[in-house]
Amino acid sequence: MNRNTYAKLTNIRDAFWWLIATVTPVGYGDVYPVTSGGKIVASLLMIVGIAVLGVLISTLGAALIETRFKKEKGGRIYYIDDD
């Protein structure tokens, strides 16, 4: 087996950190956690941050599509006020 002596991914924890940091477009790599606990917390924050943005963007998109659909059908748009 040929092992590269210059490889920085030498264990599974580093490989998972590299995977999550690469998939989620965050930072420039100039500041990063070095402990396993820090990498776990940072990974969770990255995933939750992307999930929150996804929910907000899809909610906004659904509202815009619904409004346009009702206008094209000539229907009225009613807003329900829970006060």
On whether the CB atoms of residues 36 and 13 are closer than 8 A, the answer is yes
Structural domain spans, the chain: 12-72
Top-confidence residue, 63 or 22 = 63
**Which segments of 1-83 does DSSP mark as H helices, in order?**
12-23, 36-72
Amino acid 15: pLDDT: 80
Average pLDDT over residues 22-49: 81
pLDDT at 36: 85
The per-residue pLDDT for range 40-68, each reduced to its tens digit, is 888 898 889 889 999 999 999 998 888 87
Mean pLDDT estimate for the chain: 78
pLDDT of residue 54: 93
Taking the model in full, what pTM does it have? 0.58
